[in-house]
Chains A and B, each alone.
Chain A
């Protein structure tokens, strides 16, 4: 049976549902008897969820407005360039 360290090597593909065949069978056999690794897999998946939510969660739904100074600077560059708007 694979070790905890070997399971870690499979974890990315396992968590993403990409693991198949012997690799998947090995991972599942290990997880069936290793509560710490089961806990680790759940935490790995939770980490991905928390990272996404850190940037995309919350109530903000309106597109942010760019700072006026930035808009002016970009437009100034565009207008000063040859053949630009």
Chain B
């Protein structure tokens, strides 16, 4: 992903509003989280399979794009995820939510893809963390931030800037921030997905947020 270190602007589907789990509408395949639809899928009904791909594919792609930042890689991750889903439908626990299960699978597929790619050189996060004097107190106090109201936050320009700043975080930190704060995996699930310890997840998340705060201050709130 982003081997050239360039900033990535995600296409519209990566900015899709509702997250995969939890939403339901008449056209939502996950409102078809009913036994008849699941039975059709398990029986290999091609129409059910196609419907699932067509209706869930966009959401799956949005998740993969958020994690990978690259359309080609995200497409491949979604393909891998769907193949995994259809291969392992028999292991899907009835009573669980199909969306949650599929979300986990596409996250894992995207992380597998991420691990397989050459990593871009990591920038150090240290210069984005707060500085302290020797006595442990603050050596600098940045400017106060002007409030960002709902209208400004709705603007694509504002949201795009924040996404660009998140993309500037070192990859290991960006990934934890995306998994915990955006995809809303809990600490244990994030640790499992990334194959790191839970304390490491907590530390990286905390440092990622602090670094993003610094970037926001530099880009959005410096007078």
Residues of chain A at the chain B interface (Cβ within 8 Å): 3-6, 8, 11-12, 36-37, 39-40, 42-44, 46-48, 50-61, 63-67, 70-71, 73-75, 77-79, 81, 83-85
Contacts and interface: CB of A to CB of B under 8 A. Distances in A.
B13 A57 contact: no
Interface of A is mostly: helix
A63 B83 contact: no
A85 B79 contact: no
A55 B15 contact: yes
B182 A4 contact: no
Given A44-B210, A66-B78, A4 B57 contact: no
B83 A58 contact: no
Given A37-B138, A63-B55, A74-B82, A54 B163 contact: yes
Interface of B is mostly: helix
Nearest to A11: B206
B132 A5 contact: yes
15 contacts: A5-B137, A36-B138, A51-B209, A52-B181, A54-B162, A55-B15, A56-B182, A57-B153, A58-B17, A63-B55, A65-B58, A66-B54, A67-B75, A74-B79, A79-B46
Contacts of B144: 39
Contact of B130 (A8, A70, A79): A8
